[in-house]
Structure 1
Amino acid sequence: MTELPGLDLDRLAAHLGKGPLTGELIPGGRSNLTYRVTDGQDRWVLRRPPLGHVLATAHDMTREHRVISALADTPVPVPAVELLCTDPEVLGAPFYLMEEVAGVALRDPGQCEWLTPSGAAALAERLVDVLADLHAVDPDSVGLGDFGRPEGFLKRQVARWGKQLDASRSRDLEGIDDLRDRLAERVPESSRATVIHGDYRLDNVLVTQEPLGISAVLDWEMATLGDPLADVGLLHVYWHGLGLAKDPITGTVPSLPGFPSADELVARYASRTGADISGLGWYIAFGYFKLAVILEGIHYRYTTGKTVGAGFSQLGALTLPLVRQGLLAIKEY
């Protein structure tokens, strides 16, 4: 039986009453750990927190399980959840199982050889439309009316990610405290509150070829009730990235023929929802700050040997470029 860090297949098999089990780490995730598990007949995907330096509220499996379950009968495509285990005796941390959904998370151009320019344009529109559908869900109607505290959401977010930064701080980061201070000084008034994903981007959805579409939205660990423009600003960040030809933030997929610009994505969202996006610069700056803090936390875990998977050694080099982009965005706000 294959041994995997963070996944004891013998204990899991005993807990499920199935087995023997085999599993593999699904690459690409930078925070919670995701594995594919099978008993030879059924196949599941398992999610659990990272192995160490777990920041408070940042890897809450119960919240992630709850929001996916709540969205099951809405227009937002999500996997069916199988079970939630909060007993740390099984795997050393809470985890949940969900169905394995067909589709691919598009992270680099090599996965997109089949995608025509017209298909890229249609996929980008669908990506925005799914986000608009999420923001149109009535939280009370799906049992998420108490999923967060929308009042004062943005102010708390700036404070929260500032605390996350302090908890992961291991080196001097020029400009990051300036960016945090500017965000705190200019917090906008939210016009409405919705269910938000918290990390919405192309490689957090599964894409199918036939028919072309989005089969599932994944990675709900930061979902809550809050200002929907926080999702839009962060999507802009992931789509525009650092503005480089070989961009490590975007994976360069959005630069392929047919994909619209980040500003065009935002314009479609505004058209679909009627949202006022005139103050989006603050949300974009906050998105850069949030991503810089996330990557700095991963860098901290990597340097202390508390995470697994490929590609972590380069992530620490991205923190300062993200901070610089955030300072440019807040200057324009």
Structure 2
Amino acid sequence: MADKIPKFSDLPLDPDGPHHNAWGLYGKDDQLGTLNRLSDSIVKEAAQSEIQTGTRINLDWPLDAQGDVPFFGRQAFHKEVYQKPPRIVNDDVWTFNTQSSTQWDGLRHFGYQKEQRFYNGVTLDQIHGTNGVEKSNVNGISAWSEKGIVGRGILLDYHEWRIKQGRDHHAFETGSISAAELKQVAKDQGTEVKFGDILLIRSGYMDAYSKLSRDEIETTRNKQPLTFTGVEQSDDMMEFLWSNFSAAGGDHPSFEAWPTQKDYALHEVMLAGWGMPIGELFDLEKLGAHCKNVSRWSFFLTSEPCNVPGGVASPPNALAIF
């Protein structure tokens, strides 16, 4: 399977499209992007090799974890529980931004900024039904719910690794985690990277966030622009991601160093260029502790994005199974 994808140096595939695009690789109407790498055979092999003890670990932060102060100006989670008298029955209504807690960024979230195009050339007009163009659900998150995001997951515990290295980490300052560092983390953990893996990076964000007071969170939230440590914007990082993974995410709110340190954002290339899901705000604390305890950083990952036609993002509903 790995030899069936173009080399990173072969990108862009569509010469008329933006930089590093892989448009047309799976057909002009494809909405799965790199999830096409999760073939039945790869998922079957992952299940057979990774599920050994039956231990299951939740990877979703609570939907209300950020309370009423989520970053990026997003709406807070609201829950209303109400009785339906005269019966002893309750219903509830949830109202929330799909990116205010753990999330998969979908293919409608972040387009190429200069070219104003989403995956496979989709436009804002197609999404919103503007300028005489018929509104559609193209690139909606529901396309991912059909088979889910399911396969071999690996945790690269950068947070644990950098502590051993004696390196400082400033989650709320712009900083870059390099591809070379992530490869070294994998080597030191003894974790083999396999084609089609679902990558999760424990950057240390959740640990840092848990130590902030509400006043500190509010001060940080009000910064303009917001600043976070994340993976670097570089050819090395793009090649590492493109060559190996079906999806990539971490515990931090921007995945990549924020604001971007280049004239492009990884979000553009990963989402709009390749159709690669980006996971953010995954709760990896229990997973990291378990991986360390059993000296194993690979597992079977199952995630079912919400079946919302035309949706932009979704809670992952994710479990790591050992």
Fold shared by both chains (TM-score > 0.5)? no
Query: Please, what TM-score do these two structures have when normalized by structure 1?
Result: 0.24
Q: Which has the higher contact order (CA 8 A, sep 6+)?
A: 2
State TM-score, norm by structure 2.
0.25
